Structure 1
């Protein structure tokens, strides 16, 4: 079951993700070997991704995330549906909805939302890592490895993603014997 080709990764970012502060942060993320510095840069990227001028949208996002954390996936999905309806160009709304779909086992829906995230913000390393998890859930290790590698190319400091990719490579090498 092939979900998504990663060929759209080079698509231009759309409204809301072209914040001028992001380019230097992504360069810093690539350029540092210091994990503490990388974590600080990653936090700044997340802050920008989460920004939105609409307070009502931010309240829905916060509530939806809390519901995800409380395992109230249907309620979280409803909140993220409202976020997307209010601003379909807000990449993080799509990303959070993809998370809800993934946690509910709605993998095809999660992939559709991840595709939208990546069209809006091609450097969204968390969405790529999430795509890798979806591929793992549907037993497509080759797709998972491609997604994890794409996430690591953007953010080489994702240790959990690196471990997953290494595990897949080891399993593939073992299967080839």
Structure 2
């Protein structure tokens, strides 16, 4: 079964963290995402994920939640099911529930730069700058070219300005 425990991931994360150019990071990132989305176990989980992704793409968020609920119920250790549900909650504006699912994702896959970046975006919306900075810093340690975290210097400046 391919998931966050896939044996191909450690080498890809090494490439990603040591990338010196965006194209190197992009190669590793796309392979990592592809592995995270693979599911070769219970066909019902794979079907629930496909259904959830299709619904999410069509902005049918309640239906997407149902799909990711089913996937995470059938395999509670599949990190990407929790991450996708966190994303849908974020898109729906339910930030607290999104945080809960991001934390579950990170408990299963601490290297999940997408979840860390998403957590940073959530904290930004909540005006929790210090927490956003910490989340983006953690994401950048894993993925040095992560676009969503590129605003970190501006956030640090903003946080310093709010403290004075």
| TM-score normalised per structure 2 | 0.91
Residue segments in structure 2 that go unaligned for 5+ positions in a row: none
Q: Give, in whole Å, the separation in 2 of the partners of 1:62 and 1:41.
A: 23
Q: Which residue does the alignment assign to 2:147?
A: 159
1:16–1:89 CA contact under 8 A, matched in 2: no
Q: Give, in whole Å, the separation in 2 of the partners of 1:174 and 1:71.
A: 37
- 1:1-177 equivalences in 2 (<5 Å): 16-53=3-40, 54-163=42-151, 165-177=152-164
Q: Give, in whole Å, the separation in 2 of the partners of 1:117 and 1:20.
A: 18
Structure with the larger RCO, 1 or 2 (CA within 8 Å, 6+ apart) = 1
Q: Which residue does the alignment assign to 1:5?
A: none
| TM-score normalised per structure 1 | 0.85
The alignment of Structure 1 onto Structure 2 pairs a total of residues equal to 162
CA RMSD between the two structures: 1.6
Residue segments in structure 1 that go unaligned for 5+ positions in a row: 1-14
1:128–1:151 CA contact under 8 A, matched in 2: yes
